[in-house]
Chains A and B, each alone.
Chain A
């Protein structure tokens, strides 16, 4: 294995060794959401004419799990190894900033997809999934996971303490995920909040991802692709640059 492959492998091994906590637990959480919200709201909420609410909910939950776990992977790995001091083992190596980026973001995508597949598999026991356009599903899952992996990298470099990381997660990642249309279509919102939702790149990830399942969405999947790809490029650009200058890791 070359240098970046080793770092990628190490990062995957890191979450895989504690997969009960890093993969099984978020799958269970998503299942609870489905059972509770699906059960309570099934007869009250109608999003698209042809789709039951529980079925509508599944892609949102899958994407939410992908996004949160991709973020958690790179961010928690970095903050832990910064605080434990073990990041020095990587800092002393000849790995370039590109190698760091590819390995940390790649392993975040791996964890996001592992959890997302788990959620899809488990919810399939309750709701039979449809796959109208599988390629869109894959494209949005990869890009969403990649963007959140890169965002986790930025947060992991920036945060010096666990509570700063928790703040980043609770005040930025969680609201943006929940207010992106995981549980509803933005068409059910008042005009003002529809406008606000359209400023949230997470909305396009979930909407485009959902298009892959049902072939219907709030906005065109091409628009979503353009927004998500641009957001991914911007966040990646920032992450690569912070790694290049050694932001908070090389004095």
Chain B
């Protein structure tokens, strides 16, 4: 039985300008114990999909199961299985950190949970903030409390929606070590993030979402293999790239990156650079990473849309 099963999920919002289709027929199974990444540009539908899973938004059609429990028909059991870290940095200003955790635990009917609350506080570096009011915490600390609140009822399935957006390096390290440990202990993890490096390092499988559709779904290693295996990277001073290179290049300021499948292709690029008389420096060939794959997939989709 999959830990999370999205079955033909669609969501249409009625807006002032007419209907907006946020999700089109998304089907996806995430197996028990997986560390799964959900990637996509802003507005691709990631948060809508997670909100449907959480029961915050109702799907227009299709169904979602968590460990076999329908998130609508059997919402109480489905929500017990789920620990969700919301994207927005929200908090209840009336309570201290420990009170907030006790209350969250109580909502799920978990009694005598102090030992686990202490462990969460310790592991997320919150032990010395336990008696601080939520209002007094910095953004990073509030984010940690959100993670603790999501885990307080020991859910088998953990969902992290952009958990590291705008947080410092230290928290990212602490958080990933802790979540990776929970994953090793058997918890299923679903992660959305903008940091593709994190997704590449952590996720065994990845789905890419664009305009409400799944456009890629595979093991992270397979996705990396399928993409151009290498990238030629160099810096250049304000000269125009030859058109045959410009069409393929990813340019960030002075940095130009060109996908290459083999040595011949790289030689071809270098020849074109020489011919155009470009002055280049810091030339290197590196292995393609998830960001390259992501950009490839998104670009292909754009071409397909233009072609149809």
A-side residues, CB < 8 A to B, are 1-3, 5-7, 9-10, 13-14, 17-18, 81, 84-86, 88-96, 246, 250-251
Chain B residues whose CB sits within 8 angstroms of the CB of A85 once the complex forms:
86, 88, 90
A250 near B58 with CB under 8 A, answer yes
Chain B residues whose CB sits within 8 angstroms of the CB of A89 once the complex forms:
90, 92, 103-104, 107, 149
A94 to chain B, nearest CB (A): 4
- B58 in complex: contacting residue of A3, A6, A93, A251, CB < 8 Å: A251
- A84 in complex: contacting residue of B76, B90, B95, CB < 8 Å: B90
B94 near A91 with CB under 8 A, answer no
Question: Which residue of chain B lies nearest to A99 when distances are taken between CB atoms in the complex?
Answer: B107
Chain A residues whose CB sits within 8 angstroms of the CB of B99 once the complex forms:
13
- B103 in complex: contacting residue of A6, A18, A84, A251, CB < 8 Å: A6
B77 at the interface (CB under 8 A from A): yes
B-side residues, CB < 8 A to A, are 13, 51, 54-58, 75-77, 79-80, 82, 84, 86, 88, 90-95, 99, 103-104, 106-109, 111, 149
A30 to chain B, nearest CB (A): 25
Q: In whole angstroms, how far apart are the Cα atoms of A47 and B111 in the complex?
A: 55
Chain A residues whose CB sits within 8 angstroms of the CB of B84 once the complex forms:
92
Question: Which residue of chain A lies nearest to B149 when distances are taken between CB atoms in the complex?
Answer: A89
Chain B residues whose CB sits within 8 angstroms of the CB of A90 once the complex forms:
107
Instruction: Count chain B CB atoms within 10 A of each CB in A1, A2, A7, A18 and give the residue with the most.
Output: A1
- B79 in complex: contacting residue of A2, A14, A93, A246, CB < 8 Å: A93
- B109 in complex: contacting residue of A3, A9, A13, CB < 8 Å: A3
Q: Which 5 residue pairs spanning A and B have beta carbons closest together?
A: A6-B106, A94-B76, A85-B90, A93-B107, A86-B92
B211 to chain A, nearest CB (A): 19
B106 near A1 with CB under 8 A, answer yes
Total residue contacts A-B, CB cutoff 8 A: 81
Q: In whole angstroms, how far apart are the Cα atoms of A6 and B105 in the complex?
A: 9
B107 near A6 with CB under 8 A, answer yes
Instruction: Take A86-B92, A92-B84, A94-B77 as given contacts and tell me if A3 and B106 are in contact as well, using a CB distance cutoff of 8 Å.
Output: yes
Chain A residues whose CB sits within 8 angstroms of the CB of B90 once the complex forms:
84-86, 88-89
Q: In whole angstroms, how far apart are the Cα atoms of A10 and B90 in the complex?
A: 17
Q: In whole angstroms, how far apart are the Cα atoms of A18 and B107 in the complex?
A: 22
A81 to chain B, nearest CB (A): 7
Q: In whole angstroms, how far apart are the Cα atoms of A91 and B82 in the complex?
A: 12
A10 near B103 with CB under 8 A, answer yes
B56 near A3 with CB under 8 A, answer no
A81 near B92 with CB under 8 A, answer yes
Chain A residues whose CB sits within 8 angstroms of the CB of B94 once the complex forms:
13-14, 17-18
Q: In whole angstroms, how far apart are the Cα atoms of A230 and B105 in the complex?
A: 37
Instruction: Count chain B CB atoms within 10 A of each CB in A9, A10, A246 and give the residue with the most.
Output: A10
Chain B residues whose CB sits within 8 angstroms of the CB of A96 once the complex forms:
76
- B107 in complex: contacting residue of A3, A13, A84, A246, CB < 8 Å: A3
- B108 in complex: contacting residue of A3, A5, A13, A250, CB < 8 Å: A3
Instruction: Take A6-B103, A86-B90 as given contacts and tell me if A91 and B108 are in contact as well, using a CB distance cutoff of 8 Å.
Output: no
A247 to chain B, nearest CB (A): 12
Question: Which residue of chain A lies nearest to B153 when distances are taken between CB atoms in the complex?
Answer: A93
B111 near A1 with CB under 8 A, answer yes
Q: In whole angstroms, how far apart are the Cα atoms of A95 and B82 in the complex?
A: 14
B106 near A91 with CB under 8 A, answer no
Question: Which residue of chain A lies nearest to B94 when distances are taken between CB atoms in the complex?
Answer: A14
Chain A residues whose CB sits within 8 angstroms of the CB of B80 once the complex forms:
94
Instruction: Take A13-B94, A84-B90, A84-B93 as given contacts and tell me if A95 and B56 are in contact as well, using a CB distance cutoff of 8 Å.
Output: no
Q: In whole angstroms, how far apart are the Cα atoms of A121 and B173 in the complex?
A: 57
Q: In whole angstroms, how far apart are the Cα atoms of A89 and B103 in the complex?
A: 10
Q: In whole angstroms, how far apart are the Cα atoms of A6 and B103 in the complex?
A: 6
Q: In whole angstroms, how far apart are the Cα atoms of A96 and B76 in the complex?
A: 8
- B57 in complex: contacting residue of A2, A84, A250, CB < 8 Å: A250
Question: Which residue of chain B lies nearest to A90 when distances are taken between CB atoms in the complex?
Answer: B107
A77 to chain B, nearest CB (A): 10
Chain B residues whose CB sits within 8 angstroms of the CB of A1 once the complex forms:
106, 111
Q: Could you list 13 examples of A-B contacts with CB < 8 Å? A: A3-B108, A7-B107, A9-B106, A85-B88, A86-B90, A88-B56, A88-B90, A92-B56, A92-B84, A92-B86, A94-B109, A246-B58, A251-B51
Q: In whole angstroms, how far apart are the Cα atoms of A91 and B90 in the complex?
A: 13
Question: Which residue of chain A lies nearest to B93 when distances are taken between CB atoms in the complex?
Answer: A84
A19 to chain B, nearest CB (A): 12
Question: Which residue of chain B lies nearest to A7 when distances are taken between CB atoms in the complex?
Answer: B107
Question: Which residue of chain A lies nearest to B133 when distances are taken between CB atoms in the complex?
Answer: A17
B106 near A250 with CB under 8 A, answer no
Q: In whole angstroms, how far apart are the Cα atoms of A17 and B92 in the complex?
A: 13
Chain B residues whose CB sits within 8 angstroms of the CB of A17 once the complex forms:
94
A86 near B91 with CB under 8 A, answer yes
B200 to chain A, nearest CB (A): 29
A170 to chain B, nearest CB (A): 25
